[in-house]
Every structure is written in structure tokens, then in C-alpha cells.
Amino acid sequence: MTAGPSAPPPALPGARLLFSLDPAVAHLNHGSFGAVPIPVQRAQQRLRDEVDANPMRYFTQGLLDRIVHTRRHLATFIGADPDGSALVTNATTGASIVLQSVRLKAGDEVLLTDHTYGAVALAVRRECRRTGATARTVAVPVTATHPEIVARITAALRPGRTRLLVVDHITSATARLMPVEDIVAAARERDVPVFVDGAHAPGMLPLDIDALGADFWVGNFHKWAFAPRGTALLAVAPDWRRRIEPLVVSWEQEAGFPLSVEWQGSMDHSTWLAAPAGLFVLRTLGVDAVRAHNAALAAYGQRVVGDALGLGPADRPQPGGPTAMRLLPLPSGMCTTFPEAEALRLHIADKLATEAKIEAWGGRGWLRLSAQVYNRPEEYDRLAERLPALLAALR
């Protein structure tokens, strides 16, 4: 079958067999926690076996070198300077490190968009309360074009007062690819530092982080790059590296960034050290082939489920690029709050044996569909067949 606007892409041979996911469930929410391929699970287990066989040897003989090697491997994959990057557990941890290191004070402000990931927004507001700074949010319609997004954010900047701009590379709640290159360029013209939350970017997008020019960028490798959960990379521009402070002081504090951030004593480093095995799986499947497959399958899922819900083309927000997540609005008045969205997610999982993300954003509920190489078109077809009746029964 040839993939096209109405046809799903052909499956990548053998890809589904790489995962230990429950075959009785349609896993259409890769974007939340990812899924670890079996070879990566085994690589991580070997590392855990190694530490448990001789903890003293594992922690005291060569572990720092292995962390540095892993960091270089991951940083090279995304076009980031390995000496200006640090392994962290997730994007939210990276955000907290950045917020602490910027050293906000009374009178400063941090500018967010209303697409900012919830935990990052909470971290911003906590740091603002602690320092006397102000958090301000600029609204960006889910249907805004790239020029409109840039214009809205640029107009909201207050040079001299805006101490940090926080913007997503790909938004979590709304699955939008943001024009980060243009946003970063506009902010730099106004001397406003930029933190890019790239939680979904590694593996999903081709990246050149150094060329992007953001002051700070963080991305998870456990979502779309097949790493074990708890693997992310924080990249910091040269002017900021001496000012980065870890959230917890360790024996590598005097070494400075990045080791002061990476070394946390007895943590489970197997998560990080197994991450290159995830990139090996991705490269074996073919990085470009995986990206193309996932983007085409997500578009197919949005089409068939959108058709089943009676949505026209104008009702289906476009992601702004070839991404592996798509968004559909739920009926008006449904799931306008987080508890309602979570209740519907659990109901769909229970009744339809389908894991999908339900979001409450902008005063309404949304269905976010992900696509990964283990997914099949018939999983979206079954959701399209059964979801309308389930939603109708709840209204």
C-alpha cells in the first residue's frame, strides 16, 4: 500500500516485535511515557546486574567516564556541544535547574505561553514566588500560524524586564510544533534569554541545538529516542555555563557544569548508560524512516477518528510540521478540567482497551493521538469505530 493523505503508511518490518507492550491494548499515547524496546531493557538490566555484583567497583572505577561518554553520544545525536550539556532525569528537572540558575529577583518576569507544560509552569510560578519575580502568560490560539505565533510572543516581550522566555519545541497538551528558530532569533534581538522545552523533540525531529542558539534547551530521550525512562539532556549556551547550579550538591560540585549536575551519588545511572542502545535501535530501523512512518500514521489516526467524530478539516488542528502527535477536539463542554480529562482517559482505557491522552486546554477537552512504529492502522480504526458511542453515552 502506498502511503498518502488517506492511506496509512506501511509498517516497518519487525518493528512491533521490538517491544514488550501488552498486545491486548492499543497504545496510542507514546508521547506521555514512551516505550522501551526489548534490547534496551536488556542493556539496562545488564547494567543493574553489574552494579549489584560489585557496587564499590561500579561506582568508584570508571563511572564518571561512562557518564561523560554517554553524554557525548546523546549530545552529538542532537547537534549539541557535549561539554555544554548535562544528563538529567527529565525536561522538568532541566527547567528547575535553569530557573534556579537564572537567579530571578523582584521586578523580573518570566514569560510563558498558555501551551507551556503544566509541571514547567508550576516550577516557574514556584520560583517566582520564592524570588519576588512575576510569571506572565501570553495566549497563543491552537490554530495560530507560525508567523502569528512569533508575532504574539514577540509583542509580549518586555526587554529589560523579561528575564526569561519559556517556549516549547513541541507542545505537550496541544501537539504543536513551535517556530522556535524564529522565536529565539526575535528574543535575542531584544536581549531576552530563552529556555526551550524540547521534551518531545529528540528522535521525533532532526535537531541542531547549537545552531538554534537558545540560551537553554532540554529534551527527553525516553519519549521518541527509545531510551529508558529518566533520560534527558540539558544544553546550555557558553555564557551561562559557569552560572548553572545543580538542584542537589554532590562530590562533583567543584567540577562545575556539567558534572556537578550529573553526579548524584547512588542514583540509578543505568537509565542513562543504556540510552545509546536506544539510539542504536532507532538507527537500525532508520531514523528518517521512523520519523516519516510516525508522522504519516499520526495523520491517518487524526483523519479516521476525526471523521468518526464528525469533525471537518477546520476542526482538526494541524501540528505545524511532520510530527508524531495529532490533536482532535472533544464535544463542547466535555472534559474542561483536568480531573474530568483524567476520568475520561481511564474510562477509554477500561472500556476500549486503548491508551490515549485526554487533555483539558483552553476551556475544552482534547484527544491527543500519538503514533510509533509499534502501532498499526487498525488500532486507530477500532478507536474510530467505538469512541463516538462511548462519548455519546457520557453526555
Query: Using 50, 70 and 90 to split pLDDT, how confident is the model at 266?
Result: confident
- Model pLDDT for residues 270-310, shown as the tens digit of each residue: 999 999 999 999 999 999 999 999 999 999 999 999 999 99
For residue 4, what pLDDT is reported? Answer: 43
235 shares a domain with 109: yes
187 shares a domain with 75: yes
Range of the domain at 154: 40-279
Q: Phi and psi at residue 232, in whole multiples of 5°? A: -145, 165
Distant-in-sequence, close-in-space partners of 282: CB < 8 Å, separation ≥ 6: 203, 225, 226, 290
Label residue 144 exposed, middle or buried (CB < 10 Å: 0-12, 13-18, 19+): middle
Sheet-wide strand order for 232-236: 85-88, 232-236, 216-220, 194-197, 162-168, 109-113, 134-138
60 shares a domain with 21: no
Specify if 3 maps to a domain. no
164 shares a domain with 44: yes
44 shares a domain with 23: no
Domain boundary at 279, 309, 324, which? 279
126 shares a domain with 207: yes
22 shares a domain with 73: no
The 3-state DSSP class for residue 263 equals coil
**Could you tell me the CATH number of the domain that includes residue 147?**
3.40.640.10
Domain boundary at 279, 305, 323, which? 279
61 shares a domain with 20: no
312 shares a domain with 191: no
Q: How far apart are the first and last CA of the chain?
A: 38
108 shares a domain with 30: no
Domain boundary at 252, 279, 306, which? 279
Task: Return mean pLDDT, the chain.
Answer: 96
| Cα–Cα dist 395/390, whole Å | 9
For residue 265, what pLDDT is reported? Answer: 81
| Cα–Cα dist 344/118, whole Å | 19
Specify if 222 maps to a domain. yes
The 3-state DSSP class for residue 112 equals strand
Specify if 1 maps to a domain. no
| Cα–Cα dist 377/375, whole Å | 7
181 shares a domain with 54: yes
| Cα–Cα dist 127/248, whole Å | 16
| Cα–Cα dist 101/158, whole Å | 21
- Model pLDDT for residues 3-44, shown as the tens digit of each residue: 444 689 999 999 999 999 999 999 999 999 999 999 999 999
**Could you tell me the CATH number of the domain that includes residue 382?**
3.90.1150.10
For residue 2, what pLDDT is reported? Answer: 38
Q: Are 91 and 123 in contact (CB under 8 A)?
A: no
For residue 3, what pLDDT is reported? Answer: 44
Our CA dihedral for 176, 177, 181, 183, rounded to 10 degrees, sits at 0
For residue 395, what pLDDT is reported? Answer: 80
Does residue 1 carry a pLDDT above 50?
no
Task: Tell me the average pLDDT across 50-77.
Answer: 97
For residue 122, what pLDDT is reported? Answer: 98
292 shares a domain with 229: no
Specify if 11 maps to a domain. no
Amino acid identity of 309?
L
Sheet-wide strand order for 325-329: 325-329, 364-370, 357-361
Count the domains in the chain: 2
Does residue 383 carry a pLDDT above 60?
yes
CA–CA distance from 359 to each of 9, 118, 137, 256, 299 (Å)?
Answer: 27, 11, 19, 39, 18
Q: Are 370 and 150 in contact (CB under 8 A)?
A: no
